[in-house]
Amino acid sequence: MSAVGLLHALKVDVVDWRGEKQLVANVDLRAGELIVGERPVAFAETRPGEEAVAPWILLETILSSEPMGAAVAAADLKLTKWPLAPEDEATLDHLGRKYKRNPKKLAQLYHRVAANNIHYRHAGVMGFGIWPVLSRSNHSCDPNARLCASSQQPLVELLLATRLIGAGDAVSWNYFSDAAFLELGWLERNRRLYRDFQFLCRCSRCEAERPEGAGGLSNADIAVFLKEGK
């Protein structure tokens, strides 16, 4: 685990899980207990309405900032590769020429940014950033932790337990940090997760609520399934 930007993470380990990694508690955690505190390796402020293009704003900020570029390159970030839409290919093409980047490496960086960006809000300012350890904590539609901004240190995000988490349990939070998201059904939740984070949720609730036909799909087929809803 990289120590860069990590303020507090002694109570969890990053462990392999289904070919990915996740955060697992190594001690029993009480509700309200601080699990991880971390500074971002990259961040970009956004204005209301820019949420849908946030990964692109963050990507361009990283491309134009040498320290952020180096910090992101050094971070052990998850990589989820999804088929790119033609307009995404065109944007990558444009950015590749503008910042003189190898197209393949740039596409990989885009996938990393898209899979790891986290929305933040601090003192009336909002944006998106990358917190490498926190982003190893999986999303769940039945989470046992929540993310919140530190009231004292700008851009420091804190992961807090919301109920008892036993040693050995995976630590998860709702990536939308919005209770209304948890009220949605399987299809709507997974549409939003796919749109914003490029994955299909495999939390215990989604496994239980998953409709017929949504299991064992390839990445391309998942996109079609979520679009058509059948």
Write out the residues near Zn ion by the rule CB under 5 A.
Answer: 141, 201, 203, 206
**Least gap, CB of 149 to Zn ion (angstroms):** 24
Is residue 172 within 8 Å of residue 159, measured between CB atoms? no
User: Strand, coil or helix: what is 114?
Assistant: helix
Cβ at position 40, least distance to Zn ion in Å: 25
Q: Which is nearer to Zn ion, 160 or 187 (CB)?
A: 187
Query: d(Cα 52, Cα 58) in Å, to the nearest integer?
Result: 12
Least CB distance to Zn ion at residue 58 (A): 24
H or E, element range at 15: strand 12-17
Q: Which amino acid is at 211?
A: P
CB of 39 or CB of 139, closer to Zn ion: 139
Task: Give the shortest CB-194-to-Zn ion separation in angstroms.
Answer: 12
The count of C-alpha atoms lying within 13 angstroms of the C-alpha of 164, restricted to the half-sphere facing its C-beta, is 2
Q: Measured between alpha carbons, how far apart are the two ends of the chain, in Å?
A: 40
Which one, 59 or 170, has the nearer CB to Zn ion? 170
Our CB check for Zn ion shows the closer of 122 and 205 to be 205
